[in-house]
Amino acid sequence: MKRSHNASLKHLNSFSVEARAGQILELECAQDLQTFTSEHVFDPGEDLILGGGSNVLFAGDVSGSVILNRVRGRRIVNDSDNEVLIEACGGENWHQLVLWSLEQGLSGIENLSLIPGLAGAAPIQNIGAYGVELADVLESVQAIELGTGQIHHFNHHDCQFGYRDSRFKSTDAGRFLITRIRLRLKRKFTAKLQYAGINDELKAMDVITATASLVSEAVSRIRQRKLPDPAITGNAGSFFKNPVIDRASAKLLSAKFDGLPHYATQDGNVKLSAAWMIDHCGWKGYRQGDAGVSAQHALVLVNYGSASGQHILELANAISDSVTCRFGVELQAEPRIIK
Ligand SMILES: Cc1cc2nc3c(=O)[nH]c(=O)nc-3n(C[C@H](O)[C@H](O)[C@H](O)COP(=O)(O)OP(=O)(O)OC[C@H]3O[C@@H](n4cnc5c(N)ncnc54)[C@H](O)[C@@H]3O)c2cc1C
């Protein structure tokens, strides 16, 4: 197990903001996981599990330990006619896992191509993009309970998935270290092209018959065009969730604000476009010092260089307040904010 004391977290978060950790523990193999759970008493108030750091904002330091789960490994568990069960360790890079699944002739996660981060973090907020979310394919999660060292297995239902949400982000936040995920993928490809942009991109690529690999390529091309690359401009993707409100309130809002995009959810509520509301409050392309709102995408807050996490958090709060003031809707941050 690698250990470093009083270490910088700047290279470990996609916002590239400076923050420090009392110590960083890097777990590289199953033995490290065992040693860690038997020797370390995890304090959720002071310690932090960190994957790729692409969904966190450090607005303060971590006084205790930052634990990096870098245990890698992936395999096919079960291969039947059409359905194939794969397993990935928590330290696997998510996008590399998508590419590997395509190489195996499998489909199901191609729409989730190029989402940064590690497989162990994917269930935390039920990653989603372009009409697909992890919950659509997730079979089970293996996790270590940090307080006891006990290993737990959660099936799909146990994970309590919601829109950018799961028990690991809500009721059980900070309680488990996710060590493995199992996904149920398909040999027979069914394109999920309800997100109009994918069809347009496939057309632009001169594709006549879509395959899972071509959809992955189309999604990657759209993402590279639309989202700032964290390697160049620090960001954590969408900073705010799209707010979900009841139908009656949504009807009133739509009547008041012409053109406000809204989508019915499966549970009878309505999801509003946070990007549209932020844009209509005049924030898109805004910059104050090195903290700003992407000019390409109103949902993406960016660090142009030397912004602090606190600076970005203040900007996020100002955006959220202005949206509440104008639309009467509260925005919720998507990344985990460390204060
Ligand atoms: C450019 C860009 C685009 C993005 N696009 C999308 C998108 O389309 N859809 C989407 O859903 N997200 C998107 N994200 C957000 C982010 O990539 C995902 O949420 C990703 O799953 C985070 O993975 P990570 O390993 O970086 O997690 P981290 O940021 O390291 O951690 C996120 C949270 O998960 C916890 N955590 C991490 N690993 C574990 C583990 N093994 N066990 C227990 N807890 C853990 C952390 O404590 C933290 O609370 C985007 C981010 C960026 C920068």
Calculate mean pLDDT across residues 125-147.
97
Tell whether ligand 1 has an atom less than 6 A from the beta carbon of residue 51: yes
What is the C-alpha to C-alpha distance for residues 178 and 282, in angstroms, rounded to an integer? 40
pLDDT of residue 324: 98
The closest alpha carbon to 160, from 151, 169, 152, belongs to 169
DSSP structure string for 5-30: EEEE-GGGSTT----EEEEEEEE-SH
What is the C-alpha to C-alpha distance for residues 296 and 285, in angstroms, rounded to an integer? 7
Calculate mean pLDDT across residues 36-49.
92
Calculate mean pLDDT across residues 319-324.
98
pLDDT of residue 196: 76
Q: What is the dihedral of CA 95, 97, 99, 100, to 10 degrees?
A: 160
pLDDT of residue 80: 86
What is the C-alpha to C-alpha distance for residues 63 and 193, in angstroms, rounded to an integer? 45
Tell whether ligand 1 has an atom less than 6 A from the beta carbon of residue 122: yes
Tell whether ligand 1 has an atom less than 6 A from the beta carbon of residue 71: no
Calculate mean pLDDT across residues 292-308.
97
pLDDT of residue 168: 98
Q: Is the pLDDT of residue 287 over 90?
A: yes
* 88 Cβ neighbours under 8 A, 6+ residues apart: 73, 74, 97, 119, 180, 181, 183
Q: Is the pLDDT of residue 194 over 90?
A: no
Q: Is the pLDDT of residue 321 over 80?
A: yes
Strand, coil or helix: 105: coil
Tell whether ligand 1 has an atom less than 6 A from the beta carbon of residue 178: yes
Calculate mean pLDDT across residues 109-131.
98
CA 96 to ligand 1 centroid distance, Å: 15
Alpha-carbon separation of residue 2 from 20, 91, 319 (angstroms): 17, 15, 40
One-letter amino acid identity for 76? I
Calculate mean pLDDT across residues 107-113.
98
> Quick one: which H or E segment has residue 219?
helix 212-226
Q: Ligand 1, residues 55, 159, 239, 299: which to mutate, most atoms within 8 A of Cβ?
A: 55
pLDDT of residue 81: 82
CA 4 to ligand 1 centroid distance, Å: 23
Calculate mean pLDDT across residues 13-22.
98
Q: Indicate which atom in ligand 1 lies nearest the CA of residue 90.
A: 41
Q: Is the pLDDT of residue 142 over 80?
A: yes
pLDDT in tens, 203-216: 999 999 999 999 99
Q: Ligand 1, residues 33, 48, 54, 165: which to mutate, most atoms within 8 A of Cβ?
A: 54
The closest alpha carbon to 40, from 58, 22, 60, 20, belongs to 22
* 235 Cβ neighbours under 8 A, 6+ residues apart: 14, 15, 227, 228, 294, 300, 301, 302, 303
Tell whether ligand 1 has an atom less than 6 A from the beta carbon of residue 118: yes
- What amino acid positions are annotated as catalytic residues? 164, 238, 334
Q: Ligand 1, residues 16, 69, 124, 239: which to mutate, most atoms within 8 A of Cβ?
A: 124
> Quick one: which H or E segment has residue 202?
helix 196-204
Tell whether ligand 1 has an atom less than 6 A from the beta carbon of residue 123: no
Question: How high is the mean pLDDT of the chain?
Answer: 96
Tokens of 47: 């310690």
